[in-house]
Chain A
Amino acid sequence: MSKPNGQEANHSRQPLLEGRSVSKYFGGLAAVHEVDFAVYPGEIVGLVGPNGSGKTTLFDCLSRVQDIDNGQVLFKGVDITRKKPHQVAHLGLARTFQVIRVYRKMTVLENMLISRQWRGETLWKMLKPSHKDTEQRARELIDFLTINHLTNEKAGNLSGGQRRLLEIGMSLMPNPDLILLDEATSGVNPTLIETIKDRIRALNKDQGISFLMIEHNIQFISDMCSRVYVLNYGQKLAEGTPDEIKANEEVIEAYFGT
């Protein structure tokens, strides 16, 4: 199995994204409890765990869609624990969602254009159609993601896999440094999974974009990630290379039960 790309992360460097004792509680339930983790520049890191283990909640905390109850999150050395979602996005953190979030009534191109950042835009500019450069970039990304035949199709008419690709494209529009991918392969046919894999590798290798991905597809994780974190009941159960994780008794226990 070929290990991907320029992922030989230099761990002595400052992490791109770092969580320190991140906790999130829903009433008495600890959805995420004192989780420490780090993603270094250029890495592709996996986040696995059984259903309900707190993976998506952790993503929500990192992208600041949910409040963080305890702990600290740093992105590029900046404390984002109390920042707003659009501020985090402006810093260069993007994400996709477990339930695909595309604007179904808009075309693929419109979906891409809407995903352009607001930063530095005057109200007057916002009243005009998108800038030529933005459209150029949107079209390039649509080509890159191999969905150019669907450019003017309504997003609601796309298949699950095509929507995943579109969603990845949308997250790329603001030029992020790190993308949080929430189950990028769920409901996607095997051919398109290969396309997604291939595109993520290219983005990582050629543009140096880092990824933190929630995934149930262990093969996908093994192929893509250099390191994996395992969550169970909101706590970090293990971390290591995909091979280490696959051999870990506790992880096997958590995934397959007794």
Chain B
Amino acid sequence: MDQFLQALINGILLGGFYAAMVLGFSIIWGVMGVINLSHGEFIMMGAFMAWLFSEPPDYLMEQLKFEALNPIFTYLISIGYQGMDPFLSLIIIMPVMFCFGYLLQKFLINRVVEKPHLVSLLVTFGLSITFANISKLFFSASPRSVDVAYTGAIRMGDVTMSNIKAIVFVGALIMLSALYLFLHRTRLGKSIRAAAQNKNAARMVGIEIDTVYAITFGLCVALTGAAGMMISPTQAVFPYMGPPFTLRAFTITALGGLGSIPGALVGGLVLGITETMIATFVPRIGTNLAIVASFSILVFILITRPQGLLSGLRPMEMEEGT
């Protein structure tokens, strides 16, 4: 029973992270109809940035062997900088990722938004490979770990809850609520929802769809980068860590509905709990079987309820067309 309770709590914590992790993927799909296969790579970037900011500069200088950056590291050493808390680095990671996403949409993705799905799939697949390999060039393929000062666990009776996972869970809930409020309370958020529901009508009342798309993409990449930072203390950071996250994002979005924030939470929890349960209770192969659960849930949902459990930004009866 204790083991079950422990697995359930771990599953819920993991599910909370999944919900935050999937937001960017789900909103981009819901708003502009682009299935972003490079989603996992944005997580990887966020995680690597967390690593960069958390390590002391002399260690980075030794690890990266990138001569061009040495003056920066030397300067940082000279002012006595010793790396910052990874969670604190979010205040840099999110704006940087926002700008990156904004520009990426403006100059690349925007050219394929109106094209058939296959085109945007190919472009984002290409981006995924490109980002992973550029990261390998920079950081090498060796796995890195991001350390935080407050490891340890909260003990409640017979079950424990890791500090970091608890913080990540709270962070995820904050991200979900902030995004929900943004989309439902601000005019920009409402414009994004309007563009998702009805692109041409939104254009005809003067909403600049290109700008809405670029802001949406930037925002989603920022959220995804933040999720990457959040996962970095609990798993190895390496250039090819992305694809399993893209797959999970796909499953959760299929479960929860395109662009639906409550759907992301429900889908994230279902997947998180399922994976943890399988990993805990299936002997020996459980951990490896967990990812199989993603596929199985995806296939099951696509057969039984292709519109997702909860309706999202783009209700199915409102498909685009003129």
Q: A-side interface residues toward B, CB under 8 Å?
A: 56, 60, 63, 65-66, 84-86, 89-90, 94-95, 97, 99, 101-106, 110, 113-119, 123, 125-130, 170-171, 173-174
Question: Whose C-beta in chain B lies nearest to the C-beta of A155?
Answer: B197
Chain B residue at minimum C-beta to C-beta distance from A130: B187
Does B226 have its Cβ within 8 Å of any Cβ on chain A? no
Residues of the B chain whose Cβ atoms lie less than 8 Å from the Cβ of A56? 322
Q: Which residues of B contact A (CB under 8 A)?
A: 182, 185-188, 190-191, 193-194, 197-198, 200-211, 315, 318, 321-322
The residue in chain A whose Cβ has the minimal distance to the Cβ of B317 is A104
Q: Is B315 a contact partner of A86 (Cβ separation < 8 A)?
A: no
Main SS of chain B's interface residues?
helix
Cβ–Cβ contact B186 & A128, under 8 A: yes
Residue among B187, B197, B200, B318 making CB contact with A85, cutoff 8 Å:
B200
Contacts A56-B322, A65-B203, A89-B203 known; A103 to B193 CB distance under 8 Å?
Answer: yes
Q: A104-B197, A106-B193 are in contact. Are A86 and B207 (CB under 8 A)?
A: yes
Q: Are the C-beta atoms of A119 and B206 separated by less than 8 Å?
A: yes
Interface on chain A toward B: helix, strand, loop, or mixed SS? loop
Q: How far is the CA of A173 from the CA of B193 in the complex (A)?
A: 18
- Which chain B positions have C-beta within 8 A of A90? 206
A113 touches B190 (CB 8 A): yes
Contact of A174 among B182, B197, B206 (CB under 8 A): B206
In the complex, are the beta carbons of A97 and B187 less than 8 A apart?
Answer: no
Q: Judging by beta carbons under 8 Å apart, are B205 and A116 in contact?
A: yes
A113 CA to B207 CA in the complex, in Å?
Answer: 12
Q: Can you list 21 A-B contacts (CB < 8 A)?
A: A65-B204, A85-B200, A85-B203, A86-B203, A86-B206, A86-B208, A89-B204, A95-B204, A101-B201, A103-B193, A103-B194, A104-B197, A104-B318, A113-B187, A113-B190, A118-B191, A123-B188, A126-B186, A126-B187, A127-B186, A127-B187
Closest to A90 in B: B206
Contact call B205/A173, Cβ cutoff below 8 A: yes
Q: How far is the CA of A143 from the CA of B205 in the complex (A)?
A: 20
Q: Give the residue name and chain of the A residue nearest to B187 (CB).
A: A126
Q: Which 3 A-B pairs have the closest CB atoms?
A: A101-B201, A85-B203, A117-B206
Across-interface contacts of B191 in A (CB, < 8 A): 114, 118, 126
